[in-house]
Amino acid sequence: MKIREISPIVLTSKEGGSATWASTMILVRVVTSDGTTGYGEAVPTLRVSQVFRAVEQVAKSLVGKDVERLERNYHDWYLQDFYLSRSFESATAISAVDIALWDLVGKELGAPLHLLLGGKFRDSVPVYANGWYRDCITPEQFAERAKELVRKGYKGLKFDPFGRYFDWIDEKGLREAEERVKAVREAVGDEVEIMIEHHGRFNANSSVEIARRLGKYNPLFMEEPVHHEDVEGYRKYRRSTNVRIALGERLISLKEALFYLREGLMDVIQPDVTNVGGVTVARKVCALAEAFGVEVAFHNAFGSVQNAVSVQLASVIPNLLLLESFYDWFPSWKRDLIFNETVVEDGHAKVTGRAGIGVSINEKLLEELEADPKTLEVKEEPVWVVQGTWK
């Protein structure tokens, strides 16, 4: 089949979610010469209009090419876009197209993605919850909400207890963070995994101090404890702590992943299929991590197409730790968009056997939600925190 059309589609609704920067979804629709439709998803954040345009630019390179030549198509864009290794917009655009192409190959062969990738290693995917602590400030609020999700069957949860601290943290901030983490640990007991999200916002001295204070609550990992590009900070953090480090949601290529792996800067890698290079690159990152003895916990914070493809990928790799999930805290339209096909039950996501990425799109809803790619408002609370927690 030939690629006939590649279109970015922006979806949004008044119903917000727990993460402001995921209130918009960028879908990519690819239509083939025989009229089959495949879908991928790109990362929205504060770059919705830029990513929309980047997808249009990728389309100029790939329309007319063979759907099935997945590696070749990625490589053709690599050849054209001199700045791919430096551009998040370009990386997420080609990632979304790549996901849609895998979806189409699966549909052509009548096979779910997991079959194309070597078959299921597990029948359902263990997930951890994120997005559950909207408007939580006090330790009691965190504890209450954490108990609710354990009752729902979740075996792991992630949260950012650092309020409005950025770059550095003082004694007051450390105490507040510790009170929140302590309350959650006591609320969920020792059997449930807790993960501490730092959102890559501290200098090494601050995060080392944080590790000293919070390590005793036995977190499964400390996520992005220092600023993403602060390699010296990571080295210092590694030397000065004995907690497990997770990072990877901002990686945009295989070789960038190799850099952090070879430096030994992480114990858990968190590639995001929607910006690391689609299924084509994500599976290589997982293999690379396997060779380094590093486990994978895919970053999965945006929409329901990203979630669907991440569930498929997570079902096949041997070195999966956990998959992130916002599913139960999505605005309802994101679940409706895929006919609620990837439900979480007892802390596990169902792996569907449908062809391609495993979900079909509610075209009627898509039409209703389609919007112009707008520049987002910037408010005091940054878009990357869970809403109502920047206090």
Ligand X SMILES: O=C(O)[C@H](O)[C@@H](O)[C@H](O)[C@H](O)CO
Of 96 and 385, which CB lies nearer to ligand X in the complex structure? 385
Q: Which is nearer to ligand X, 30 or 386 (CB)?
A: 386
Query: Shortest gap between Cβ of 369 and ligand X (angstroms)?
Result: 20
Closest to ligand X by CB, 47 vs 199, is 199
Are 193 and 220 a contacting pair, CB within 8 Å? yes
Binding mask 271-310 for ligand X (x = CB under 6 A): ----------------------------x-x---------
Q: Which of the stretches 35-43, 309-317, 358-366, 380-388 binds ligand X when contact is defined by CB under 6 A? A: 380-388
Considering the complex, state which of residue 74 and residue 237 has its C-beta at the smaller distance from ligand X.
237
Q: Is 127 in the site for ligand X (CB under 6 A)?
A: no
Residue number closest to ligand X, CB atom: 301
Q: Is 103 in the site for ligand X (CB under 6 A)?
A: no
- Please count the residues of this chain forming the interface with ligand X, following the rule CB under 6 A: 13
Angle of CA points 221, 19, 382, to nearest 5°: 90
Q: Out of 234, 237, 384, 390, point to the residue binding ligand X (CB under 6 A).
A: 384
User: Which residue, 36 or 141, is less far from ligand X as judged by CB?
Assistant: 141
Handedness of CA 336, 342, 344, 345 (dihedral sign): positive
Residue type, 364: K
Question: How close are the terminal C-alpha atoms of the chain, in Å?
Answer: 53
Q: Which residues pair with 47 in a beta bridge?
A: none
Among residues 301 and 311, whose Cβ is nearest to ligand X?
Answer: 301
The secondary structure element, H or E, covering residue 151 is helix 139-151
Task: List residues bridging with 6 in a β-sheet.
Answer: 30
CB–CB of 211/241 below 8 Å? Answer: yes
Considering the complex, state which of residue 237 and residue 330 has its C-beta at the smaller distance from ligand X.
330
Q: What is the largest CA-CA distance in the chain?
A: 63
Token readout for 267 is 């114990």
Minimum distance from residue 348 beta carbon to ligand X (Å): 19
Is 130 a binding residue for ligand X by CB under 6 A? The answer is yes
Of 113, 266, 317, 386, the residue at the interface with ligand X (CB under 6 A) is 386
Query: How does strand 245-247 pair with strand 156-159?
Result: unpaired
Among residues 27, 233, 385, 390, the one that binds ligand X under rule CB under 6 A: 385
Contact status: 180 vs ligand X (CB under 6 A): no
Residues 333 and 11: their CA atoms lie apart, in Å, by 10
Structure tokens at 118: 């070597």
Query: CB of 72: closest distance to ligand X in angstroms?
Result: 31
Task: With contacts defined by CB under 6 A, name the span among 16-24, 119-127, 290-298, 355-363 that binds ligand X.
Answer: 16-24
Nearer to ligand X, 195 or 338 (CB): 195
Residues 201, 385 contacting (CB under 8 angstroms): no
Residue from 41, 249, 267, 295 in contact with ligand X (CB under 6 A): 249
Position among 155, 180, 182, 199 found at the interface with ligand X (CB under 6 A): 199
Query: Does residue 197 bind ligand X (CB under 6 A)?
Result: yes
Half-sphere CA count of 261, side-chain side, radius 13 A = 23
CB of 102 to ligand X, least distance (A): 23
The amino acid that residue 52 corresponds to is F
Q: Which residues are catalytic?
A: 199, 299
Residue 162 C-beta: closest distance to ligand X, Å: 12
DSSP state, residue 374: P
Burial class (CB in 10 A: 0-12, 13-18, 19+), 291: exposed
**Containing H/E element for 223?**
strand 221-223
d(CA 373, CA 275): 19
Binding-site member from 11, 19, 143, 282 for ligand X (CB under 6 A) = 19
C-alpha span between 1 and 36 (Å, rounded): 9
Q: Which residues bind ligand X (CB under 6 A)?
A: 19, 21-22, 130, 197, 199, 249, 299, 301, 324, 384-386
